[in-house]
Amino acid sequence: MREDLAKLRAEVDGLASLAGRLEGRAEGLVSAHARARRELTGLTDFLDLAPAAQDRLDELSRELFGEIMEEVEANLTHAVREILGQHRTVRHRREIKNGKLFICLEMENDGQAEDILTGQGGSVCNILSVGLRLIGLAQLDPVKHQRFLVLDEQDCWLRPELVPRFAKLIAAIGDSLGLQVLYISHHGVDAFAASAGKIFQLTPDRENGVRITVLQGQGGQDLAGQPLDEPGQ
């Protein structure tokens, strides 16, 4: 009888010890659950704020870049219409991806979307490319940077009859921005006579490799140190 009683007491003590351990684990799990609930609530609140934060970010981007891009749109639209003589309009579209602002240019021709790369046989791309370079150079501090632009066959996709308009517009913008522009082209000299300050013709030369002839502007020396040919000589 005594042995049975001792055994029961030992079992009770064991159960009490187990209950204590289980109670401790339960308290730990309750605390962990409470922490998880708090973290979940915080994440939920953050996710609830995400749309509002995105809207605010977009609003800030419009405030920061809207006025600038509207001016860019107006300038590029003017250039395209001035050269191509058609009712095209440059639009920009802003996107925010991975926290970064992306600006895409788009073209409308009489209200219809037009591929910038292939529009008017590539002429649209020619014009916008030069326009963006001029806009970029206009942002440079003239004290720190020499405003100099090289255009290498930038009129390659333009129809010959449009080249004079293109050259005239570039010359006008260059003058207004204080830019020095070196324009390289395979089109005829007549296309640039009304807008270029100086026109040089490069001709292969067996002795010197290349000979430069002044067709318009002041004289100088060729690559071999010889006087450049003047018009009419």
For residue 181, with 0-12 CB atoms within 10 Å meaning exposed, 13-18 middle and 19 or more buried, which class applies? buried
**Model confidence at 230: pLDDT above 50:** no
CB 195 within 8 A of CB 202: no
**Run of H or E residues at 96:** strand 88-97
Strand 148-152 and strand 180-184: the pairing is parallel
15-69 tens-digit pLDDT: 677 777 777 787 888 888 888 888 888 777 777 766 776 677 667 666 666 677 7
Inside any domain, residue 106: yes
* Range(s) of the domain holding residue 182: 57-197
CB 156 within 8 A of CB 164: no
Average pLDDT for 166-178: 89
The CATH number given to whatever domain includes residue 157 is 3.40.50.300
Give residue 65's pLDDT: 66
Inside any domain, residue 170: yes
Give residue 167's pLDDT: 92
Inside any domain, residue 179: yes
Inside any domain, residue 26: no
CB 103 within 8 A of CB 72: no
3 state SS of 217: coil
Task: Say how many domains are in the chain.
Answer: 1
63-122 tens-digit pLDDT: 666 677 788 888 888 888 888 877 889 988 877 677 677 778 888 888 888 888 887 778
**Model confidence at 233: pLDDT above 60:** no
Inside any domain, residue 171: yes
196-205 tens-digit pLDDT: 888 988 888 8
User: For residue 176, what are the CA distances in angstroms to 53, 187, 192, 209, 229?
Assistant: 41, 25, 18, 36, 31
123-169 tens-digit pLDDT: 888 888 888 888 888 888 878 888 888 999 988 888 899 999 999 99
Choose between 212 and 220: higher pLDDT. Answer: 212
Inside any domain, residue 3: no
According to DSSP, residue 147 is labeled -
